[in-house]
Amino acid sequence: MTTTYEPNKVLSNKEFKVVGTRPVRPDGADKVTGRAQYGADLQLTGLLYGKTLRSPHAHANIKSIDFKKALALEGVKAVVSAKDFPETKDTANYGLGDSPMNYFRGNILADKKVLYKGQAIAAVAASSVHVAEAALSLIDVKYEVLDAVLTAPEGMAKDAPILHDDLFTKEFEKQTKVNSNIAEHFQHKMGDIDEGFAGADVIVERTFDTATVHQGYIEPHNVTALWNDDDRIHVWTSTQGAFTVRAAVSEALAVPVSKIKVTPMEIGGGFGGKINVYEDPAAALLSKKAGHKPVKMVMTRAEVFEGTGPTPGSHMTVKMGATNEGKIVAAQANLAMEAGAYPGSPVGAGAMCVFTAYDIANVTIDGYDVVVNKPKTAAYRAPGAPNAAFAAEQVIDEIAEKLNIDPLELRLQNAAKEGTRRADGPIHPRIGCVEVLEAMKEHHHYQSPLTPAKNGGKVGRGVGIGFWFNIGMQSACNISVNNDGTVNLVEGSTDIGGSRASIAMHAAEVLGISYEDVKPQVADTDSVGYTAITGGSRTTFATGWAAYEAANDVKAQLIDRAATIWGVDPDSVEMEEGVLRSKTDTELNMSFKDLSAQLNDTGGPIVGRGAVDPSGIGGSFCGQIVDVEVDPETGKTDILRFTVVQDAGKAIHPSYVEGQMQGGSVQGIGWALNEEYYYSEDGRMNNPTFLDYRMPTSLDLPMIDTVIVEVANPGHPYGVRGVGEANIVSPQAAVANAIKSAVGARMEKMPMNPAAIMEQLWS
Amino acid sequence: MAKVFIPSLMQELTDGQTQLDIQGSTVREIIKELEQSYPGVKDRLMDGFKLKGNINVAVDGEVSPIGVLAKVQENSEVHFLPALGGG
Amino acid sequence: MPATKVHVTTTINGEPVEFLAEPRQSLLEVLRDVVQLTGSKEGCNDGNCGACTVNMDGRIVDSCLVLGVEAEGADIQTVEGIASADGLHPIQQAFLENAALQCGICTPGFLVSSKALLEKEPNPSEERIRMWLAGNLCRCTGYDKIVKAVMAAAKEMAS
Ligand code: FES
Ligand code: FES
């Protein structure tokens, strides 16, 4: 069934000319003609090809590595291993917090120990990919295989094999003397949890397990690196943060950032998974050792699954209590998430989001970051929050069921508002939780009867709501005026989903010119100020803000220039809708276009700059309504109808906002129903292909209806909240709740594939 | 005075106090002041002149992009949180 | 030892093309590395993502599953051959106007597949479009806007 888009629920009352329209993206023509240059498309003179040798074991000591035979193969130019890293300091920080250098480097090229199957050990550069691959099979590595730990509960067990002999549990940064796989334990506490439960009429407690999943971007990681004869390094790569890559290469190789230039190529999806840096430092080392020849490395799909990502599996207990009237009075969560081989799971974020949609007086949340023999986890769209919401949003659903209250009504009754204190401490600023829930309740999907079954199965409806806090961080932007009344905009955020357009729209709005007159460009690290990752839903918010600042700088200079030309006081000149005019003398006016033509004769070029590290971040709420059909004979689940409602603050480019909502929701559906790393007992992933790691196809889905709610973020000039992530938080729970309503099975395991549903039905 | 919220796992350093009213115009001053009464707090939170890489400070609900340099007002709330990233 | 290369004569996007290919090289590898047409993308190299989709003698194929030497005598169309001197093809225009791409890595494959569908069936239903495109993975969009773009292109081409 095709449904037309809901009109947007607009609560911000500012009027805009460009903001809120849906222009075609500036890189569009290149991307529909095959001309856009992605990392793997790069060709350089004298190019060599690199390949990585990866561990076949999940946990093993490396006894020795012998390269003799590989080096003897014709066409092999260089090999590298951890031995090629220079002496350096103990801690690495490439813009995302501190980590011990041996952990950071260990995930690039393992030293004495491998901690997951697929971990990089060595790399080869050769005249072709085929030769490089042949050389890998000639490298002789001797291992001492150890027992593997594959889940958080296994890792936390008393007698678990220990991954790192230098890892001691931290308790909110207190270093304990316990050598264990628990890297960190933290706690958020508010009110009195025992008192809270004592006052509850119903209490629901359940334990949930979710599997490891991958971000699943279609473009594999790739890098080309040239360590030039003058010792300057140039890296071309597919990344969410060119400056992050620069810092990581600098930290790994102990080369100053001024000697490294990173050119971000077009990027074929990231979702958080292209923030971590993998083969880039090894490619640079290979380039140097091969006699300063450029080296290109492109991962295979299996390498992407086994060596990058994923987002963690988790083990979580959630307990909530409510009064008969439907007031939630206590909530407790115990969240353990797999960090993978090195500390750093997103459990902190999960803890921050688990009960954030609700106003609850008594809350305790414990989080555990547990290392296991799986790839080091990477961010994946609202990292940690979907796991937590899968648990909490099902427990709430069960409370609603027990109290016989409509599930959206129960959520509305307890919804967080401006002024509500979150369990981790801070107070919510203006948020759109209530508005999102109301829009869901009023939506004709929620108002209409269940979608009829297509194949004679049982149908059910579920809802869920999720939160993501979003981030700010540094962004820079320059705008220079062309003499034909257009501007060039240079920014540093790699564009994964149309952000060039939304950033350009900020500038066009300020200058009062058309969107087409702003030409945005993503620059390399030598050509623009420091700009943090495209991630955390920050790009439109922060880099858009930098563009807003740069455009205002241009505007101020234009006003000055017009005043000079007219010989009047700049304070008496204003610029509105692309026209400069005197506030007092109606004779004095001039279009931006006319002024731009005169710049070179009246004082020279005008260049504006914007550099920000903004506060005023606005978190986003997003909810889903889903109708499913479950075949009670097989457990197969089909999505019949799906509606997603999100608070965008202000949708700069509504089509791209809808795209984020649809994309995030569908990733959530895949996570809910199918996706999982399927492990053998000794820690090998059994399904590292798109055939067996099954992501949703067009055939698995209906249209994804969207409603954009706009509760303006007072912290941004146009009211923007980030929209990239909140949409993946609760689809899993909404699907689980729909399955429960269809067949009566409460799903405590994810994915909810046919086997899991049948198991639950028979139990 | 600013209202400083002590993370539950750090309350062992503050004799179990969950909230303290502390004088200071920046987060740095607040931590210095805390250290006076509750030795060990500074080491727990800071590494030299900076917050530890895995700790954030929020002043009035906003995570400070400038760490301990953040200004604190008379009635501000100060929270120390585990640092987080996004995808 | 590198195998002896085979001489292949073929037509790509309407132009006669000759190339030398190792017998083990896939058509995708040849297109990208030998003929320098990098519009076709590699997402999996095992026939499961469709990013490498090309039209070969009127059939949609995953070029990573075809050998370069099999191109002998074939008529191949890649994403680079969809636009004409007159500008973008309606399907390309529809993808842009309907925001049917985010990162764009899947787009070449979707364009080649959708164009083939519309040439066979000028007015496909939503169901039919979803069925036809099921071999092309997109991780960014959730397919909604892609399906709508194909419908919009069908409408545009009919008028
Ligand atoms: S690369 Fe050919 S189908 Fe994926
Ligand atoms: S647009 Fe990114 S995979 Fe389709």
Q: Is A659 in the pocket of ligand 2 (CB under 6 A)?
A: no
In single-letter form, the type of residue at position C97 comes to E
- Specify which of A14-23, A129-138, B42-51, B78-87 reaches the highest per-range mean pLDDT: A129-138
Peptide bond before residue A751 is cis, with ω within 30 degrees of 0? yes
Residue with tokens 């097989």: A634
Determine the Cα angle at A348 with ends A347 and A354, to 5°. 80
Interface contact A468, partner B, CB < 8 A: yes
Considering chain A, what is the average pLDDT of its residues?
96
Report CB contact under 8 Å: A689, C126.
Answer: no
Residue A111: CB atoms within 10 A of its CB come to 14
Which pair of tokens denotes residue B9?
């796992």
> What span, in angstroms and rounded, lies between the C-alpha atoms of A536 and A723?
9
CATH code for the domain in which residue B39 is found: 3.10.20.30
B28-64 burial: b if 16+ Cβ within 10 Å, else e: bbbbbbbbeebeebeebbbeeeebbbbbbbbbbbbbb
Which pair of tokens denotes residue B7?
């993370």
> How does strand C53-56 pair with strand A260-264?
unpaired
- The confidence score (pLDDT) of residue A404 equals 98
C90-158 CATH choice from 1.10.150.120, 3.20.20.70, 1.10.1200.10, 1.10.3720.10: 1.10.150.120
In single-letter form, the type of residue at position A247 comes to A
Interface contact C86, partner A, CB < 8 A: no
Interface contact A616, partner B, CB < 8 A: yes
- Indicate the burial class of B19 (C-beta count within 10 angstroms; 0-12, 13-18, 19 or more): middle
Residue C90: CB atoms within 10 A of its CB come to 18
Interface contact A665, partner C, CB < 8 A: yes
- The confidence score (pLDDT) of residue A2 equals 33
**Domain boundaries defined on chain C:** 6-81, 90-158
Q: Give how far the C-alpha of residue A183 lies from the chain's centroid of Cα atoms, to the nearest Å.
A: 23
Instruction: Give tens-digit pLDDT for A624-678.
Output: 999 999 999 999 999 999 999 999 999 999 999 999 999 999 999 999 999 999 9
The H-or-E segment that residue B42 falls in is helix B41-45
β-pair partners for C18: C9
Q: Cβ distance C149 to C100 under 8 Å? A: yes
Residue A156: CB atoms within 10 A of its CB come to 17
Q: Cβ distance A552 to A575 under 8 Å? A: no
Residue of A nearest to B62 (CA): A615
Residue of B nearest to A424 (CA): B81
A502-512 burial: b if 16+ Cβ within 10 Å, else e: bbbbbbbbbbb
Tally of structural domains, chain B: 1
Residue C76 contacts by C-beta under 8 Å, 6 or more apart in sequence?
C10, C11, C12, C13, C27, C54, C55, C56
> What span, in angstroms and rounded, lies between the C-alpha atoms of A191 and A360?
9
Q: Cβ distance C20 to C31 under 8 Å? A: no
- The confidence score (pLDDT) of residue A233 equals 98
Residue A674 contacts by C-beta under 8 Å, 6 or more apart in sequence?
A694, A695, A696, A751, A753
Q: Which one of C46, C106, C139 would you pick to mutate in the ligand 1 pocket, going by the greatest count of ligand atoms within 8 A of its CB? A: C46
pTM: 0.96
Q: Cβ distance A351 to A190 under 8 Å? A: no
- CB contacts under 8 A, B 38-57 vs A, are 44-45, 47, 52-55
Instruction: Give tens-digit pLDDT for A687-717.
Output: 999 999 999 999 999 999 999 999 999 889 9
- The confidence score (pLDDT) of residue A1 equals 32
Chain A residues lying within 8 Å of C85, measured CB to CB: none
pLDDT value at B86 more than 60: no
Residue of A nearest to C78 (CA): A34
Which residue ranges form the domains of chain A, and what is each CATH number? 1-36+429-470+618-763 (3.30.365.10), 40-147+217-301 (3.90.1170.50), 475-612 (3.30.365.10)
pLDDT value at A99 more than 90: no
β-pair partners for B62: B59
Separation of C54 CA from ligand 1 center, angstroms? 10
Which pair of tokens denotes residue A369?
């970051």
Long-range pairs of A171-179 with CB within 8 A, sequence gap ≥ 24? A171/B9, A172/B7, A172/B8, A172/B9, A172/B10, A172/B44, A172/B82, A173/B44, A173/B45, A173/B52, A173/B54, A173/B55, A174/B9, A174/B10, A174/B44
Report CB contact under 8 Å: C145, A29.
Answer: no
Instruction: Give tens-digit pLDDT for A467-478.
Output: 999 999 999 999
Which pair of tokens denotes residue A533?
């990752």
- Nearest-10 crossing angle of helices C90-97, C144-158: 140
Annotate A634-665 with DSSP letters as a single string. Answer: T--EEEEEEEEEEE-SS-SSHHHHHHHHHHHH
Q: Which one of C45, C60, C66, C137 would you pick to mutate in the ligand 1 pocket, going by the greatest count of ligand atoms within 8 A of its CB? A: C45
Residue A557: CB atoms within 10 A of its CB come to 18
Report CB contact under 8 Å: B85, A535.
Answer: yes
Is residue B66 assigned to a domain?
yes
CB nearest A659 (choices: C43, C44, C99):
C99
Annotate C48-111 with DSSP letters as a single string. Answer: SS-TTEEEETTEEEEGGGSBGGGGTT-EEE-GGGTSBTTB--HHHHHHHHTT--SS-SSHHHHH
What's the CA dihedral at C24, C28, C30, C36 to 10 degrees? Answer: -160
Residue with tokens 């309504």: A625
Rounded to a whole number of angstroms, the distance from the CA of A438 to the nearest CA of chain B is 25
Is residue B60 assigned to a domain?
yes
Chains that touch B (3 or more CB pairs under 8 A): A
The CATH number that domain C6-81 falls under is: 3.10.20.30
pLDDT value at A3 more than 60: no
> What span, in angstroms and rounded, lies between the C-alpha atoms of A487 and A481?
4
pLDDT value at A415 more than 60: yes
- The confidence score (pLDDT) of residue A95 equals 82
CB nearest A173 (choices: B18, B55, B79):
B55
> What span, in angstroms and rounded, lies between the C-alpha atoms of C106 and A31?
10
pLDDT value at A606 more than 50: yes
Is residue B87 assigned to a domain?
no
Q: Is C106 in the pocket of ligand 2 (CB under 6 A)?
A: yes
> What span, in angstroms and rounded, lies between the C-alpha atoms of B26 and B39?
19
- Number of Cβ pairs closer than 8 Å across A and C? 182
Q: Give how far the C-alpha of residue C38 lies from the chain's centroid of Cα atoms, to the nearest Å.
A: 11
CB nearest A695 (choices: C88, C98, C139):
C139
Residue with tokens 């962004």: A475
Q: Which band of pLDDT confidence, cut at 50, 70 and 90, is reported for residue A5? A: very low
Full residue range of the structural domain in which residue B58 is found = 2-82
Instruction: Give tens-digit pLDDT for C62-113.
Output: 999 999 999 999 999 999 999 999 999 999 999 999 999 999 999 999 999 9
Chain A residues lying within 8 Å of B84, measured CB to CB: 346, 348-349, 352, 469, 471
Residue with tokens 């059910």: A460
Measured in Å, how far apart are chain C's first and last C-alpha atoms?
57
pLDDT value at A7 more than 60: no
The H-or-E segment that residue A579 falls in is strand A579-582
> What span, in angstroms and rounded, lies between the C-alpha atoms of B81 and A739?
36
Instruction: Give tens-digit pLDDT for B16-60.
Output: 999 999 999 999 999 999 999 999 999 999 988 899 888 899 999
- Residue whose C-alpha is closest to residue A193's, from A413, A368, A362, A48: A362
pLDDT value at A12 more than 80: no
Compute chain C's Rg from CA coordinates: 16
Instruction: Give tens-digit pLDDT for A442-461.
Output: 999 999 999 999 999 999 99
> How does strand A620-630 pair with strand A637-647?
antiparallel
A55-69, A172-186, A243-257, A263-277: the lowest-pLDDT one: A172-186
CB nearest C103 (choices: A220, A269, A300):
A269
User: Within 6 Å (CB) of ligand 1, which residues are found?
Assistant: C 42-45, 47-52, 62, 64
Residue A456: CB atoms within 10 A of its CB come to 9
Residue nearest ligand 2's atom 3 by CA: C138
Is residue B35 assigned to a domain?
yes
